[in-house]
Amino acid sequence: MEPVVVVGRSKGKRAGAPDSLVLAAGEGFIAFIPADTTVLLDVNTSVLASLVLEGNLLFDDSQPNVEIRLNTFQILVKGGNLSIGSNSSVYNGKARITL
């Protein structure tokens, strides 16, 4: 199965937030986030075969009462980041990762 590269572009929802690419991969696909790319995850994913992170995947917390779900059989971090908040920016939303 060929990797699915992230597609689409979304305006940052918060004031001053940069544009972000949007993860768009169907059920059973391999989602690949290339280096130097940041993806804002603001919707639930279908069940992915794999998620490969050479770039960055950030969980969006602009909707604190909405749970964002990442569903995949495996996550491979190859020089990238999977971020759900940080020490300086506490995640205010709800997040669930199901492997």
Structure confidence by residue, pLDDT tens digits, 76-99: 999 999 999 888 888 888 899 999
Residue 38's pLDDT is what?
Answer: 83
Provide the 8-state DSSP code for 96: E
Q: Residue 48 sits in which domain range? A: 3-11+19-98
Question: Among residues 37, 39, 27, 97, which one has the least CA distance to residue 68?
Answer: 97
Residue 9's pLDDT is what?
Answer: 47
Tell whether the torsion through CA atoms of 25, 28, 29 and 33 is positive or negative: positive
Residue 11's pLDDT is what?
Answer: 47
Name every residue whose Cβ is closer than 8 Å to that of residue 18 and which is 6 or more positions away in sequence. 12, 38
Residue for token digits 């920016």?
A: 89
Structure confidence by residue, pLDDT tens digits, 36-73: 888 888 888 888 888 889 888 988 888 888 899 999 99
Q: How many domains does the chain have?
A: 1
H or E segment to which residue 48 belongs: none
Residue 6's pLDDT is what?
Answer: 53
Contact assessment for residue 6 and residue 21, using Cβ atoms and an 8 Å cutoff: yes
